[in-house]
Amino acid sequence: MYDIRDPKFWDEGDLDKELRRVFDVCHTCRMCFSYCPSFPSLFDAIDRHEERGEGEVEALTAEEMEPVVDQCWQCKLCYVKCPYTPPHKFMVDFPRLLMRAKLVKVRKHGVKLRERILGDPDRLGRLNAGRLAAFANWANRQPVFRRALERLLGIHRKRQLPRFARVTFSKWFDDRQRRPSPGLRPPSPAAAGEGHSCPSVVEGPGEGPRVVLFPTCSIDYNYPQVGVAAVQVLEHNGKSVERPNVVCCGLPALDGGDLDTAIARVEENVKTLLPLVREGKPVVVLAPSCGLTMKQEWPQLVPTEECKEVAAAVMDAGEYLLKERAAGRLDVNFPAPQGSIAYHVPCHLRAQNIGQPFRAILGGVPETTVEPIEQCSAFDGTWGMKTEFYETSRRCAGKLCGAIKGANASRVMSDCMLAGLNVAEETGTAPSHPLEVLRDAYGIATEADAPRC
């Protein structure tokens, strides 16, 4: 039922039948009533019909089902918690069903201009980052421009937008590769205590086991400091980092219903990554949403053996480092305590079913406590930017932001930098990426020419 190449996938009658089947299961259970606005919209509509004696799910109108689809921001949390997901006989996959409904709707009515623009972060980055970054960031703070942007594209005037970097991560990385390498410093003898693992030291990039870095669009154009921290941590642990010329993972286009663009992105990335994967190199991803997309959505969008081969080589950055620790190849000597950390665990990390790898690693840092907060940020990349969803996004992020304030921690951390926009608006504190915290725990200084957003 979720094969985009099957004509039944696009059949509106078949879709309506499946929506009502799954909605009936959800109505009977109602465990997810507080997860996102989709469920209250659904249950309230069903209850109104029931109170009037008109039936239940079968009485729902198309107009009542539409907000259920629109208010889903694909956090996947309901799938993580649902007791009826495959292989259960009910075969419930609520987020994938609502994505199907969105794709069917967009195929019928076309992709809107806003979705085309927000669905192409590479193009936005090329236009606004670099030499134009200062102007773009200035413009995004001007009320007159933001009102115009809201009227033209439906991006809420109050939404704090990610800043564009004057130096992108890809430019910094390429320039650094052309310079003579300073070499990697070995762990100090005092830090190498008994029972600790110290990786072999290499002289610089190109000398150790090679790792393919998939930085993601947001890291490249908006948060390059996270990419810098990733390179520093990996090189500190004896790895040589490659950054191939990949493009967006396709999730922003998919979120907007632009299926053709999403498939094109996947095909281009598979073509780039396949030779590297066949050389035995892991693909390390710096954002959980992109990692989840590459692992789970790519083989659905492009069902080839080559795509499956690349998807199988994809690992979240924390997942990769934790495996290295298990193999005795991660430096576990941390000379710099990090104090108390409030850790927002992103929904798309939880949906990968890999646990909380960075929490496990940072748990070994002396005088450091990591308090996990498993609440949704209600942002989803571009969903929380849109005028009609902005207030809902802020409200639904209240549990997360309240928990962060209540933790009274010395540092806030999240694997998802875009999710941090809601956190920053509510708490005044922008989260650090776990790789930045890990780099600091190693006592490694940020490189002098490292870019920032």
pLDDT at position 444 is: 95
Biggest alpha carbon distance in the chain?
A: 77
CA distances from 353 to 80, 85, 161, 299, 356 (A): 8, 14, 30, 18, 9
Instruction: Quote the tokens at residue 219.
Output: 């890291």
Q: Does pLDDT of 194 surpass 80?
A: no
pLDDT at position 187 is: 39
Q: Does pLDDT of 151 surpass 50?
A: yes
Backbone phi and psi for residue 3, each to the nearest 5 degrees, phi listed first: -90, 110
Which pairs with CB-CB distance under 8 Å and at least 24 residues apart come from 267-275?
267/302, 269/294, 269/298, 269/310, 270/298, 270/302, 270/304, 270/306, 270/307, 270/310, 272/244, 272/245, 272/246, 273/212, 273/214, 273/244, 273/246, 273/310, 273/313, 274/306, 274/309, 274/310
Mean pLDDT (the chain) is 91
Contact 233, 438 (CB under 8 A): yes
Q: Does pLDDT of 167 surpass 70?
A: yes
Burial class (CB in 10 A: 0-12, 13-18, 19+), 418: buried
How far does Cα 132 stand from its chain's mean position? 26
Grade residue 180 by pLDDT with cuts at 50, 70 and 90.
low
CA distances from 287 to 47, 83, 222 (A): 39, 27, 13
Nearest to 214 by CA among 133, 268, 260: 268
Write out the H or E segment, with its range, that includes residue 62: helix 62-70
Q: Does pLDDT of 201 surpass 90?
A: no
Average pLDDT over residues 177-202: 45
> Strand, coil or helix: what is 155?
strand
| Chain segment 33-83, per-residue pLDDT in tens | 888 999 999 999 999 999 999 999 999 999 999 999 999 999 999 999 999
Q: Does pLDDT of 181 surpass 70?
A: no
Output b/e per residue, 148-170; b: 16+ Cβ within 10 A: ebbeebbbbeebebbbbbbbbbb
Q: Give the whole-angstrom CA distance, residue 72 versus residue 101.
A: 11
Asked, colleague to colleague, whether 169-326 and 339-441 share their fold, the answer is no
Nearest to 348 by CA among 406, 419, 409, 281: 419
28-32, 191-195, 364-368: the lowest-pLDDT one = 191-195
Say which residue the tokens 């207030």 belong to. Answer: 391
Model's pTM, two decimal places? 0.90
| Chain segment 264-295, per-residue pLDDT in tens | 999 999 999 999 999 999 999 999 999 999 99
Q: Give the whole-angstrom CA distance, residue 290 versus residue 214.
A: 9
Protein fold of 169-326: Glutathione S-transferase Yfyf (Class Pi); Chain A, domain 2 (1.20.1050)
pLDDT at position 13 is: 96
Instruction: Quote the tokens at residue 92.
Output: 């419930």
Nearest to 280 by CA among 310, 245, 322, 306: 310
Nearest to 94 by CA among 70, 78, 73, 75: 78
| Chain segment 314-339, per-residue pLDDT in tens | 999 999 999 999 999 999 999 999 99
Say which residue the tokens 């406590």 belong to. Answer: 369
CA distances from 406 to 342, 374, 398, 402 (A): 9, 14, 12, 6
pLDDT at position 34 is: 87
- Cis status of the peptide bond prior to 87, with omega within 30 of 0: yes
Handedness of CA 69, 75, 77, 82 (dihedral sign): positive
Grade residue 300 by pLDDT with cuts at 50, 70 and 90.
very high
Entry field: residues in the chain: 453
Q: Does pLDDT of 206 surpass 60?
A: no
- Indicate the domain borders of the chain: 7-109, 169-326, 339-441
Contact 42, 29 (CB under 8 A): no
Grade residue 200 by pLDDT with cuts at 50, 70 and 90.
very low
Average pLDDT over residues 388-413: 94
Helix ranges restricted to H, 256-339: 259-277, 288-292, 298-301, 305-312, 317-326
Q: Does pLDDT of 238 surpass 90?
A: yes
% of the chain residues with pLDDT over 90: 85
Q: Give the whole-angstrom CA distance, residue 159 versus residue 381.
A: 12
Q: Does pLDDT of 419 surpass 90?
A: no
Q: Does pLDDT of 183 surpass 60?
A: no
Grade residue 448 by pLDDT with cuts at 50, 70 and 90.
low
Protein fold of 339-441: Rossmann fold (3.40.50)
Number of H-type helices and E-type strands within the chain: 24, 7
